[in-house]
Structure 1
Amino acid sequence: MSFAKSLGKSFVLIIIILILLIGGGLWLDYLDVISVKKTFAPLYKVMGKTPQTSLTATQSRPLVANLDEDRLAKIQESLLLQAETLDKREADIVVKETQLEQTAQELSEREKNQEEREKTFNLAVKKYDDKNVNVEQIATNLNGMAPKNAVDILVAMDDQTVIDVLRKVEELAKANGTSSMGSYWLSLMPSERAAEIQRKMINKPESLN
Protein backbone atom coordinates (compact mmCIF):
# COMPACT_ATOMS: atom_id res chain seq x y z
CA MET A 1 0.00 0.00 0.00
CA SER A 2 2.81 2.36 0.89
CA PHE A 3 4.63 1.47 -2.36
CA ALA A 4 1.63 2.47 -4.46
CA LYS A 5 1.34 5.66 -2.51
CA SER A 6 5.02 6.48 -3.08
CA LEU A 7 4.66 5.70 -6.76
CA GLY A 8 1.72 8.09 -7.02
CA LYS A 9 3.67 10.88 -5.34
CA SER A 10 6.59 10.35 -7.66
CA PHE A 11 4.36 10.53 -10.70
CA VAL A 12 2.82 13.75 -9.46
CA LEU A 13 6.29 15.19 -8.89
CA ILE A 14 7.37 14.21 -12.40
CA ILE A 15 4.27 15.91 -13.86
CA ILE A 16 5.00 19.04 -11.83
CA ILE A 17 8.64 19.01 -12.99
CA LEU A 18 7.55 18.63 -16.63
CA ILE A 19 5.11 21.50 -16.26
CA LEU A 20 7.81 23.65 -14.72
CA LEU A 21 10.26 22.72 -17.47
CA ILE A 22 7.75 23.46 -20.21
CA GLY A 23 6.62 26.72 -18.59
CA GLY A 24 10.21 27.81 -17.95
CA GLY A 25 11.19 26.96 -21.51
CA LEU A 26 8.28 28.91 -22.92
CA TRP A 27 9.09 31.85 -20.69
CA LEU A 28 12.77 31.82 -21.66
CA ASP A 29 11.73 31.49 -25.30
CA TYR A 30 9.42 34.52 -24.88
CA LEU A 31 12.35 36.43 -23.41
CA ASP A 32 14.38 35.36 -26.48
CA VAL A 33 16.96 33.64 -24.24
CA ILE A 34 16.53 30.23 -25.84
CA SER A 35 14.51 28.95 -28.80
CA VAL A 36 12.15 26.03 -28.11
CA LYS A 37 9.40 26.82 -30.62
CA LYS A 38 10.12 23.87 -32.87
CA THR A 39 10.27 21.53 -29.86
CA PHE A 40 6.90 22.71 -28.53
CA ALA A 41 5.27 23.02 -31.94
CA PRO A 42 2.95 19.98 -31.29
CA LEU A 43 1.89 21.57 -28.01
CA TYR A 44 1.05 24.87 -29.79
CA LYS A 45 -1.05 22.93 -32.30
CA VAL A 46 -2.95 21.12 -29.52
CA MET A 47 -3.61 24.52 -27.91
CA GLY A 48 -4.77 25.95 -31.30
CA LYS A 49 -1.93 28.53 -31.59
CA THR A 50 0.79 29.15 -34.15
CA PRO A 51 4.31 29.25 -32.73
CA GLN A 52 6.26 32.40 -33.45
CA THR A 53 9.04 31.62 -35.88
CA SER A 54 12.08 33.61 -36.87
CA LEU A 55 10.22 34.66 -40.03
CA THR A 56 7.23 36.04 -38.13
CA ALA A 57 9.54 37.65 -35.59
CA THR A 58 11.27 39.68 -38.30
CA GLN A 59 8.14 40.69 -40.18
CA SER A 60 8.34 44.12 -38.55
CA ARG A 61 11.86 44.79 -39.89
CA PRO A 62 10.73 45.78 -43.41
CA LEU A 63 8.49 48.40 -41.78
CA VAL A 64 11.49 49.80 -39.90
CA ALA A 65 13.50 49.74 -43.12
CA ASN A 66 10.72 51.65 -44.90
CA LEU A 67 10.70 54.27 -42.15
CA ASP A 68 14.46 54.70 -42.49
CA GLU A 69 14.10 55.10 -46.26
CA ASP A 70 11.38 57.72 -45.76
CA ARG A 71 13.58 59.63 -43.33
CA LEU A 72 16.50 59.46 -45.77
CA ALA A 73 14.26 60.60 -48.63
CA LYS A 74 13.01 63.55 -46.55
CA ILE A 75 16.56 64.51 -45.63
CA GLN A 76 17.62 64.36 -49.27
CA GLU A 77 14.60 66.44 -50.28
CA SER A 78 15.42 69.00 -47.58
CA LEU A 79 19.05 69.19 -48.74
CA LEU A 80 17.90 69.60 -52.34
CA LEU A 81 15.59 72.47 -51.37
CA GLN A 82 18.40 74.12 -49.42
CA ALA A 83 20.73 73.75 -52.40
CA GLU A 84 18.11 75.31 -54.70
CA THR A 85 17.62 78.18 -52.23
CA LEU A 86 21.37 78.79 -52.05
CA ASP A 87 21.62 78.71 -55.85
CA LYS A 88 18.80 81.26 -56.12
CA ARG A 89 20.43 83.51 -53.52
CA GLU A 90 23.75 83.25 -55.35
CA ALA A 91 22.05 84.16 -58.64
CA ASP A 92 20.33 87.13 -56.96
CA ILE A 93 23.67 88.28 -55.54
CA VAL A 94 25.26 88.08 -58.99
CA VAL A 95 22.41 90.14 -60.46
CA LYS A 96 22.71 92.75 -57.70
CA GLU A 97 26.48 92.93 -58.11
CA THR A 98 26.01 93.47 -61.85
CA GLN A 99 23.47 96.21 -61.20
CA LEU A 100 25.79 97.87 -58.66
CA GLU A 101 28.67 97.74 -61.14
CA GLN A 102 26.50 99.33 -63.84
CA THR A 103 25.34 102.02 -61.41
CA ALA A 104 28.91 102.70 -60.32
CA GLN A 105 29.99 102.95 -63.97
CA GLU A 106 27.13 105.35 -64.75
CA LEU A 107 28.02 107.49 -61.73
CA SER A 108 31.66 107.50 -62.81
CA GLU A 109 30.66 108.61 -66.32
CA ARG A 110 28.41 111.33 -64.90
CA GLU A 111 31.17 112.53 -62.60
CA LYS A 112 33.62 112.58 -65.51
CA ASN A 113 31.16 114.54 -67.67
CA GLN A 114 30.50 116.94 -64.81
CA GLU A 115 34.24 117.52 -64.40
CA GLU A 116 34.55 118.17 -68.13
CA ARG A 117 31.67 120.67 -68.02
CA GLU A 118 33.18 122.41 -65.02
CA LYS A 119 36.56 122.53 -66.75
CA THR A 120 35.01 123.99 -69.90
CA PHE A 121 33.04 126.50 -67.84
CA ASN A 122 36.15 127.54 -65.89
CA LEU A 123 38.08 127.98 -69.12
CA ALA A 124 35.28 130.10 -70.54
CA VAL A 125 35.18 132.23 -67.38
CA LYS A 126 38.96 132.63 -67.46
CA LYS A 127 38.82 133.53 -71.13
CA TYR A 128 36.11 136.08 -70.42
CA ASP A 129 38.03 137.50 -67.47
CA ASP A 130 41.23 137.75 -69.51
CA LYS A 131 39.41 139.39 -72.39
CA ASN A 132 37.57 141.73 -70.05
CA VAL A 133 40.86 142.76 -68.47
CA ASN A 134 42.41 143.31 -71.90
CA VAL A 135 39.41 145.29 -73.15
CA GLU A 136 39.42 147.45 -70.01
CA GLN A 137 43.15 148.09 -70.43
CA ILE A 138 42.65 149.05 -74.11
CA ALA A 139 39.75 151.35 -73.19
CA THR A 140 41.84 153.04 -70.49
CA ASN A 141 44.76 153.50 -72.87
CA LEU A 142 42.56 154.94 -75.63
CA ASN A 143 40.96 157.39 -73.21
CA GLY A 144 44.45 158.78 -72.59
CA MET A 145 45.24 159.28 -76.25
CA ALA A 146 44.42 161.95 -78.72
CA PRO A 147 41.09 161.17 -80.45
CA LYS A 148 42.65 160.73 -83.92
CA ASN A 149 45.28 158.28 -82.60
CA ALA A 150 42.61 156.37 -80.71
CA VAL A 151 40.44 156.11 -83.84
CA ASP A 152 43.37 154.84 -85.91
CA ILE A 153 43.85 152.03 -83.41
CA LEU A 154 40.11 151.21 -83.36
CA VAL A 155 39.90 151.08 -87.16
CA ALA A 156 42.64 148.42 -87.20
CA MET A 157 40.60 146.19 -84.85
CA ASP A 158 37.81 143.79 -85.81
CA ASP A 159 34.21 144.91 -85.32
CA GLN A 160 33.53 142.81 -82.21
CA THR A 161 36.62 144.12 -80.41
CA VAL A 162 35.69 147.70 -81.32
CA ILE A 163 32.21 147.12 -79.92
CA ASP A 164 33.63 145.64 -76.69
CA VAL A 165 36.03 148.58 -76.27
CA LEU A 166 33.31 151.19 -76.92
CA ARG A 167 31.00 149.55 -74.38
CA LYS A 168 33.82 149.39 -71.83
CA VAL A 169 34.58 153.07 -72.44
CA GLU A 170 30.90 153.85 -71.78
CA GLU A 171 30.99 151.75 -68.61
CA LEU A 172 34.13 153.46 -67.29
CA ALA A 173 32.68 156.90 -68.06
CA LYS A 174 29.53 156.14 -66.05
CA ALA A 175 31.61 154.77 -63.18
CA ASN A 176 33.85 157.87 -63.16
CA GLY A 177 31.05 160.36 -63.81
CA THR A 178 32.66 161.63 -66.99
CA SER A 179 31.65 161.92 -70.65
CA SER A 180 32.24 158.91 -72.91
CA MET A 181 34.50 159.35 -75.96
CA GLY A 182 32.78 156.52 -77.83
CA SER A 183 30.39 158.65 -79.86
CA TYR A 184 33.14 161.09 -80.85
CA TRP A 185 35.43 158.27 -81.94
CA LEU A 186 32.65 156.83 -84.11
CA SER A 187 32.17 160.21 -85.76
CA LEU A 188 35.85 160.26 -86.74
CA MET A 189 35.77 156.74 -88.24
CA PRO A 190 34.86 156.06 -91.91
CA SER A 191 31.13 156.43 -92.24
CA GLU A 192 30.45 152.92 -93.58
CA ARG A 193 32.55 151.30 -90.84
CA ALA A 194 30.93 153.42 -88.15
CA ALA A 195 27.43 152.56 -89.41
CA GLU A 196 28.21 148.83 -89.41
CA ILE A 197 29.53 148.97 -85.84
CA GLN A 198 26.49 150.90 -84.63
CA ARG A 199 24.15 148.41 -86.34
CA LYS A 200 25.88 145.49 -84.62
CA MET A 201 25.82 147.24 -81.26
CA ILE A 202 22.05 147.70 -81.59
CA ASN A 203 21.32 144.12 -82.78
CA LYS A 204 23.61 142.26 -80.34
CA PRO A 205 23.25 142.18 -76.54
CA GLU A 206 25.92 143.72 -74.43
CA SER A 207 28.30 140.77 -74.15
CA LEU A 208 31.99 140.26 -74.63
CA ASN A 209 31.32 136.91 -76.37
Structure 2
Amino acid sequence: MAKFPRARAWPRILLYIALIIVLTLGGIVWFDVLGLIDARAFFRPVLSLVGLAPRATPVPQESEFLLDSMRIQKLDESVNLRIAQLEQNREDLAQEREVFQQQLSELEEREEAQQDREKSFNDRLQEYDNRRANLIRISEDLTSMRPDDAVAILIGYDDQLLIDTLRVTQELADQAGELSLVSVWLSRMPPDRAADIQRKMAIKPPS
Protein backbone atom coordinates (compact mmCIF):
# COMPACT_ATOMS: atom_id res chain seq x y z
CA MET A 1 0.00 0.00 0.00
CA ALA A 2 2.88 2.45 0.75
CA LYS A 3 4.66 1.95 -2.66
CA PHE A 4 1.62 2.58 -4.86
CA PRO A 5 1.25 6.29 -4.03
CA ARG A 6 5.00 6.81 -4.71
CA ALA A 7 4.65 5.19 -8.12
CA ARG A 8 1.74 7.49 -9.02
CA ALA A 9 3.59 10.67 -7.76
CA TRP A 10 6.26 10.60 -10.52
CA PRO A 11 3.97 11.70 -13.32
CA ARG A 12 2.87 14.72 -11.30
CA ILE A 13 6.51 15.56 -10.55
CA LEU A 14 7.39 15.36 -14.26
CA LEU A 15 4.35 17.46 -15.07
CA TYR A 16 5.42 20.10 -12.56
CA ILE A 17 8.95 20.13 -13.98
CA ALA A 18 7.62 20.49 -17.53
CA LEU A 19 5.29 23.28 -16.37
CA ILE A 20 8.20 25.06 -14.68
CA ILE A 21 10.31 24.73 -17.85
CA VAL A 22 7.45 26.06 -20.01
CA LEU A 23 6.86 28.99 -17.64
CA THR A 24 10.59 29.72 -17.56
CA LEU A 25 10.87 29.68 -21.34
CA GLY A 26 7.74 31.79 -21.64
CA GLY A 27 9.15 34.29 -19.14
CA ILE A 28 12.43 34.46 -21.01
CA VAL A 29 10.60 35.09 -24.31
CA TRP A 30 8.42 37.75 -22.67
CA PHE A 31 11.41 39.48 -21.12
CA ASP A 32 13.07 39.41 -24.55
CA VAL A 33 10.02 41.06 -26.06
CA LEU A 34 10.09 43.72 -23.37
CA GLY A 35 13.78 44.30 -24.06
CA LEU A 36 14.87 43.41 -20.54
CA ILE A 37 17.10 40.53 -21.64
CA ASP A 38 18.58 39.14 -24.86
CA ALA A 39 17.09 35.66 -25.31
CA ARG A 40 19.35 34.88 -28.23
CA ALA A 41 22.43 35.47 -26.11
CA PHE A 42 20.85 33.39 -23.34
CA PHE A 43 20.21 30.35 -25.57
CA ARG A 44 23.32 30.73 -27.71
CA PRO A 45 25.59 28.55 -25.44
CA VAL A 46 22.97 25.81 -25.34
CA LEU A 47 22.34 25.89 -29.07
CA SER A 48 26.06 25.86 -29.71
CA LEU A 49 26.34 22.52 -27.95
CA VAL A 50 23.89 20.92 -30.36
CA GLY A 51 25.21 22.78 -33.43
CA LEU A 52 22.19 25.09 -33.80
CA ALA A 53 23.77 28.40 -32.84
CA PRO A 54 21.98 31.29 -34.60
CA ARG A 55 23.87 33.27 -37.15
CA ALA A 56 25.34 36.46 -35.95
CA THR A 57 23.22 39.39 -37.02
CA PRO A 58 25.08 42.26 -38.63
CA VAL A 59 25.56 45.28 -36.44
CA PRO A 60 23.57 48.23 -37.78
CA GLN A 61 25.72 50.87 -39.48
CA GLU A 62 23.87 53.84 -38.01
CA SER A 63 24.97 54.51 -34.49
CA GLU A 64 25.24 57.46 -32.20
CA PHE A 65 28.70 58.25 -33.56
CA LEU A 66 27.37 58.09 -37.12
CA LEU A 67 24.55 60.52 -36.26
CA ASP A 68 27.05 62.85 -34.61
CA SER A 69 29.22 62.66 -37.70
CA MET A 70 26.25 63.50 -39.93
CA ARG A 71 25.31 66.44 -37.71
CA ILE A 72 28.89 67.70 -37.78
CA GLN A 73 28.98 67.33 -41.57
CA LYS A 74 25.76 69.34 -41.94
CA LEU A 75 27.12 71.95 -39.55
CA ASP A 76 30.31 72.19 -41.61
CA GLU A 77 28.28 72.61 -44.79
CA SER A 78 26.23 75.36 -43.16
CA VAL A 79 29.37 77.12 -41.92
CA ASN A 80 31.03 76.85 -45.34
CA LEU A 81 27.91 78.27 -47.00
CA ARG A 82 27.89 81.16 -44.52
CA ILE A 83 31.58 81.79 -45.14
CA ALA A 84 30.96 81.85 -48.91
CA GLN A 85 28.13 84.35 -48.44
CA LEU A 86 30.34 86.55 -46.26
CA GLU A 87 33.11 86.41 -48.86
CA GLN A 88 30.64 87.42 -51.57
CA ASN A 89 29.36 90.26 -49.40
CA ARG A 90 32.94 91.38 -48.79
CA GLU A 91 33.66 91.42 -52.53
CA ASP A 92 30.44 93.37 -53.19
CA LEU A 93 31.37 95.89 -50.50
CA ALA A 94 34.86 96.22 -51.97
CA GLN A 95 33.40 96.93 -55.41
CA GLU A 96 30.93 99.45 -53.99
CA ARG A 97 33.75 101.11 -52.07
CA GLU A 98 35.83 101.33 -55.24
CA VAL A 99 32.93 102.95 -57.11
CA PHE A 100 32.36 105.33 -54.20
CA GLN A 101 36.05 106.29 -54.12
CA GLN A 102 35.98 106.94 -57.86
CA GLN A 103 32.88 109.12 -57.56
CA LEU A 104 34.43 110.95 -54.59
CA SER A 105 37.59 111.60 -56.62
CA GLU A 106 35.52 112.95 -59.49
CA LEU A 107 33.61 115.24 -57.12
CA GLU A 108 36.85 116.47 -55.58
CA GLU A 109 38.26 117.19 -59.05
CA ARG A 110 35.10 119.06 -60.01
CA GLU A 111 35.19 121.03 -56.76
CA GLU A 112 38.84 121.88 -57.31
CA ALA A 113 38.14 122.97 -60.89
CA GLN A 114 35.21 125.08 -59.67
CA GLN A 115 37.42 126.70 -57.05
CA ASP A 116 40.04 127.42 -59.70
CA ARG A 117 37.40 129.03 -61.94
CA GLU A 118 36.09 131.11 -59.06
CA LYS A 119 39.60 132.20 -58.13
CA SER A 120 40.38 133.07 -61.74
CA PHE A 121 37.15 135.04 -62.00
CA ASN A 122 37.84 136.85 -58.74
CA ASP A 123 41.37 137.61 -59.89
CA ARG A 124 40.10 138.99 -63.20
CA LEU A 125 37.44 140.96 -61.38
CA GLN A 126 40.02 142.36 -58.97
CA GLU A 127 42.30 143.12 -61.86
CA TYR A 128 39.45 144.82 -63.69
CA ASP A 129 38.55 146.84 -60.59
CA ASN A 130 42.16 147.84 -60.12
CA ARG A 131 42.54 148.70 -63.80
CA ARG A 132 39.31 150.69 -63.82
CA ALA A 133 40.38 152.53 -60.67
CA ASN A 134 43.67 153.36 -62.35
CA LEU A 135 41.88 154.49 -65.52
CA ILE A 136 39.56 156.71 -63.50
CA ARG A 137 42.52 158.27 -61.72
CA ILE A 138 44.35 158.79 -65.02
CA SER A 139 41.24 160.31 -66.60
CA GLU A 140 40.76 162.68 -63.68
CA ASP A 141 44.40 163.74 -63.83
CA LEU A 142 44.25 164.34 -67.59
CA THR A 143 40.95 166.21 -67.35
CA SER A 144 42.47 168.61 -64.83
CA MET A 145 45.33 169.45 -67.22
CA ARG A 146 45.44 171.77 -70.17
CA PRO A 147 44.30 169.91 -73.31
CA ASP A 148 47.70 170.19 -75.00
CA ASP A 149 49.49 168.74 -71.97
CA ALA A 150 46.95 165.91 -71.73
CA VAL A 151 47.34 165.12 -75.44
CA ALA A 152 51.10 164.99 -75.09
CA ILE A 153 50.70 162.28 -72.43
CA LEU A 154 47.98 160.36 -74.31
CA ILE A 155 50.09 160.10 -77.45
CA GLY A 156 52.68 158.12 -75.48
CA TYR A 157 50.10 155.46 -74.49
CA ASP A 158 49.68 152.25 -76.46
CA ASP A 159 46.42 151.95 -78.40
CA GLN A 160 44.61 149.78 -75.82
CA LEU A 161 45.44 152.02 -72.86
CA LEU A 162 44.58 155.12 -74.90
CA ILE A 163 41.22 153.69 -75.97
CA ASP A 164 40.35 152.58 -72.40
CA THR A 165 41.29 156.02 -71.04
CA LEU A 166 39.13 157.83 -73.62
CA ARG A 167 36.17 155.54 -72.91
CA VAL A 168 36.40 155.99 -69.14
CA THR A 169 36.67 159.76 -69.62
CA GLN A 170 33.57 159.77 -71.83
CA GLU A 171 31.70 157.56 -69.31
CA LEU A 172 32.57 159.83 -66.36
CA ALA A 173 31.51 162.94 -68.29
CA ASP A 174 28.19 161.35 -69.25
CA GLN A 175 27.55 160.35 -65.61
CA ALA A 176 28.34 163.91 -64.42
CA GLY A 177 26.34 165.51 -67.24
CA GLU A 178 29.38 167.47 -68.39
CA LEU A 179 31.03 168.03 -71.74
CA SER A 180 33.61 165.35 -72.51
CA LEU A 181 37.15 166.34 -73.50
CA VAL A 182 37.58 163.22 -75.64
CA SER A 183 36.71 165.04 -78.86
CA VAL A 184 39.08 167.90 -77.92
CA TRP A 185 41.94 165.52 -77.26
CA LEU A 186 41.36 163.63 -80.53
CA SER A 187 41.26 166.87 -82.49
CA ARG A 188 44.69 167.83 -81.19
CA MET A 189 46.33 164.50 -81.86
CA PRO A 190 48.15 163.69 -85.10
CA PRO A 191 45.45 163.01 -87.75
CA ASP A 192 46.67 159.51 -88.56
CA ARG A 193 46.77 158.42 -84.88
CA ALA A 194 43.41 160.03 -84.12
CA ALA A 195 41.79 158.32 -87.13
CA ASP A 196 43.24 154.94 -86.17
CA ILE A 197 42.05 155.27 -82.57
CA GLN A 198 38.55 156.31 -83.61
CA ARG A 199 38.36 153.34 -86.00
CA LYS A 200 39.38 150.89 -83.30
CA MET A 201 36.97 152.41 -80.80
CA ALA A 202 34.15 151.97 -83.29
CA ILE A 203 35.07 148.35 -84.07
CA LYS A 204 36.20 146.98 -80.73
CA PRO A 205 33.64 146.83 -77.91
CA PRO A 206 34.57 148.14 -74.47
CA SER A 207 36.79 145.70 -72.54
Seen in structure 2, the aligned counterparts of structure 1 residues 169 and 162 have a Cα distance that, compared at 3 Å, is: same
- Residue 39 of structure 1 and its aligned partner are, at CA, apart by 4.5
Q: Identity rate of aligned residues, in percent? A: 36
TM-score, structure 2 length as denominator? 0.84
Contact 1:26 1:36 in 2 (8 A): no
Aligned residues of 1:29 and 1:37 also touching (Cα < 8 A) = no
Give the gaps of 5 or more residues in structure 1: none
1:40 Cα deviation from its structure 2 partner: 6.1
Q: Which residue of 2 aligns with 1:11?
A: 14
CA separation in 2, counterparts of 1:80 and 1:89?
Answer: 14
Residue 141 (structure 1) shift = 1.4
Which structure 2 segments of 5+ residues have no match? Answer: none
Query: Hey, what's the Cα distance between the residues in 2 that align with 1:55 and 1:102?
Result: 72
Q: Secondary structure at the match of 2:42?
A: coil
Distance 1:105 1:77 in 2: 42
Q: Which residue is equivalent to 1:26?
A: 29
- Normalised to the residue count of structure 1, the TM-score between the two structures is 0.83
Q: Aligned equivalents of 2:191 and 2:141: distance in 1?
A: 24
Partner of 1:62: 61
CA deviation string 1:5-30 (max 9, x = no partner)? 32222111111111122222333444
Change (3 A) 1:150 1:117: same
Does structure 1 residue 188 correspond to structure 2 residue 182? no
Aligned to 2:42: 36
Distance between the aligned counterparts of 1:180 and 1:72, measured in 2?
Answer: 104
1:69: Cα distance to partner? 5.7
Partner Cα separation in structure 1 for residue 181 and residue 79 of structure 2? 95
* 1:73, distance to aligned residue in structure 2 (A): 4.4
Question: Structure 1: which amino acid aligns with 2:157?
Answer: M
Quote how far apart the aligned CAs of 1:124 are. Answer: 0.4
Q: How many residues align?
A: 198
The CA distance in 1 between the partners of 2:121 and 2:47, in whole Å, is: 113
